[in-house]
Amino acid sequence: MNNRYKLICIFLLLTVSGFAQTEVADQIAKSVNSTVSEKQSEEWIYKLASDDFGGRGTGSAGIDSAANMITSYWKSLGVKPMGDDNTFKQAVGLKESNPGDTLSVFQIDESTYTQGEQLLYFSGNGTYNSGIAFVGYGSEKEIEAIEISGKIVLSWAGSEDKQHPMAMLEASSKKIELVKKHGGIGLIELYKSEVVPWPIIIRNLNKKQIVLDNGNENFPYAWLNYDNNTMHAMMSELKQGVDSNASIKVYSNSKSINAYNLIGKIEGTDPSLKDQYVVVSAHYDHLGIGRAIEGDSIYNGARDNALGVAGIMNAAKYFSKYPPKRSVLLIAFTAEEMGLLGSIWYADHPVVPLNKTVFNLNADGAGYNDTTKVTIIGLNRTNIKNYIYNSANAFGIEVGDDPAPEQNLFDRSDNASFARKGVPCINMAPGMKSFNQEIFRYYHNPADEASSLNYNYLAKYWKTFVGTAAMIANSDYTPYWMEGDSYESRAKVLYGIN
């Protein structure tokens, strides 16, 4: 076969493949359009965001009512339960703690630090006295290089490339496991991030909060505000290996919280692809009941995130009627508002191996101020961009990129829990051109009511969401990170790619 003939064959193959993909996209668009109901979706949101559900606070009776509504609908469609004991519910280990009520002191030699001023404890109970070991940022290499057994470990918070508090806490969870593995008896991290100043950290975290119950109840872990003026000499000695002693006294109370992720499965139809999974997700919690604004104390959460839940309800309806080639996991996450806790728990306790999960399409957002588009957080990070554009075009809506990349929105929704494990993902949000007063008028505010939404616009959003999910689940091509993405290396480990 000569080269010219080869090129002709390749051209014809690509052309036929292109026609086939276009035909599939057209079929999906037609079936999505006939399945997604604006009226039904509006009814779901009015119920989810009603005062009867009390703002769907994590651990509340209202969120339990929301869970029953979602799972009852899934059951009526024949969705397979994938939670605990053949139910849709996956129990998430959470506890309520109040650092502000914690009696705690950290002392290094002659210097003493107290809770709520320089110190913020996350876990621990009891008194601990030992030598102290400084391990830099606490990487595996740094920890293995120093004898830490029986010592309290001191490190910089987060890592050199992670200085946002959420990213710091994620890095710290791995650090804690490394410290425990090598015999350390506690971890104190020095907080020096300029991204979020220490007074804001204390104001937001030194109060009652819901956290993961990760088995570290008796392992002391805290952030210590780094003050260069008073700690410079101490740090110089520690870096030189000068022996120092430390003492921790911490006494705290906490209680378990009942909370559940909701998980259902629609099995794929293609023998060679059905063992691959597309996770279609949204969080179903919100803020519950809080400070009254203009006489209203119920934070109903219509935009955040009842409209995302409507997205996965529509996906359940569609895939039950039109089963795709790949299997689909429908997940409604709890405790997103508490720090992505439900999705973090799922990523650590998946119901199917993560190396069989090829993509996560998440629905979440702060609201919308542009009804001409959908906003994709992570638009250029994976190879599925064409599916998004094809779906959006079919429903007469544009595609917008992240309007505020400096705010690191990609790592602030549940998709981030998958990304950190290596699973390709995006977050599909309603149209947003900037964070302006139209967003802040409703975001985390009792004014976020079902009656304030534009359902004609949202119908296009939901159709684009379901259409994109369908194209991914029916594609013969495997979704993947774009070359050079910061999460690509984790994907190579997860999927065993050299």
Mean pLDDT in the chain?
Answer: 90
* Cis previous bond, 305, omega within 30: yes
* Per-residue confidence (pLDDT) for residue 158, from 0 to 100: 84
Average pLDDT of the residues in 305-318: 99
Least confidently predicted of 125-139, 260-274, 286-300, 367-381: 125-139
Two tokens at 312? 């996965």
Average pLDDT of the residues in 427-432: 98
Q: Which residue has the tokens 């290089």?
A: 145
* Per-residue confidence (pLDDT) for residue 16, from 0 to 100: 42
Average pLDDT of the residues in 61-89: 99
Two tokens at 99? 């650092």
**Helix, strand, or coil here: 156?**
strand
Least confidently predicted of 102-106, 139-143, 327-331: 102-106
CATH 3.50.30.30 fits 99-252, yes or no: yes
CA distance 168 to 162: 6
CB 211, CB 97: distance < 8 Å: yes
Instruction: Give the phi and the psi of residue 254 in degrees, each rounded to 5.
Output: -150, 160
Question: What pairs with residue 129 in β-bridges?
Answer: 247
CA distance 195 to 183: 32
Query: pLDDT grade, residue 407 (50/70/90)?
Result: confident
**Extended strands (E) in 162-257:** 186-191, 209-212, 221-225, 245-251, 254-257
DSSP 34-98: HH--HHHHHHHHHHHTSGGGGGGBTTSHHHHHHHHHHHHHHHHHTPEE-SGGGSSEEE--EEEE-
Average pLDDT of the residues in 345-359: 98
Query: pLDDT grade, residue 6 (50/70/90)?
Result: very low
CB 38, CB 267: distance < 8 Å: no
Average pLDDT of the residues in 129-141: 91
Query: pLDDT grade, residue 181 (50/70/90)?
Result: very high
Query: pLDDT grade, residue 273 (50/70/90)?
Result: very high
Res 172 pLDDT > 70: yes
DSSP 370-411: -TTEEEEETTTTBTTHHHHHHHHHHTT-EEE--S-GGG-GGG
* Per-residue confidence (pLDDT) for residue 269, from 0 to 100: 98
**For the whole model, what pTM was predicted?**
0.87
Q: How far is CA 158 from the centre of its chain?
A: 18
Q: Which residue has the higher pLDDT, 195 or 6?
A: 195
CB 44, CB 309: distance < 8 Å: yes
CA distance 371 to 363: 16
CA distance 465 to 428: 7
Two tokens at 467? 């259409």
Tell me what percent of the residues of the chain surpass a pLDDT of 70.
93
* Per-residue confidence (pLDDT) for residue 298, from 0 to 100: 98
Domain 26-96+257-495: CATH superfamily, name plus number = Zn peptidases (3.40.630.10)
Q: Give residue 189's identity as a one-letter amino acid code.
A: E
Res 9 pLDDT > 60: no
Ramachandran class of 341: left when φ > 0, alpha when ψ lies in -120 to 50, beta otherwise: alpha
Question: What pairs with residue 409 in β-bridges?
Answer: none
* Per-residue confidence (pLDDT) for residue 105, from 0 to 100: 81
CB 265, CB 330: distance < 8 Å: yes
* Per-residue confidence (pLDDT) for residue 99, from 0 to 100: 65
Query: pLDDT grade, residue 232 (50/70/90)?
Result: confident
Query: pLDDT grade, residue 102 (50/70/90)?
Result: low
* Per-residue confidence (pLDDT) for residue 22, from 0 to 100: 66
Q: Which residue has the higher pLDDT, 87 or 14?
A: 87
Query: pLDDT grade, residue 100 (50/70/90)?
Result: low
* Per-residue confidence (pLDDT) for residue 248, from 0 to 100: 86
CB 99, CB 121: distance < 8 Å: yes
CA distance 326 to 276: 6
Least confidently predicted of 8-22, 63-77, 359-373, 451-465: 8-22
Question: What pairs with residue 251 in β-bridges?
Answer: 103
Query: pLDDT grade, residue 350 (50/70/90)?
Result: very high
- Count CB-CB contacts under 10 A for residue 218: 13
Q: Which residue has the higher pLDDT, 404 or 358?
A: 358
* Per-residue confidence (pLDDT) for residue 35, from 0 to 100: 98
* Per-residue confidence (pLDDT) for residue 91, from 0 to 100: 98
Domain ranges of the chain: 26-96+257-495, 99-252
H or E segment to which residue 362 belongs: strand 357-363
* Per-residue confidence (pLDDT) for residue 17, from 0 to 100: 43
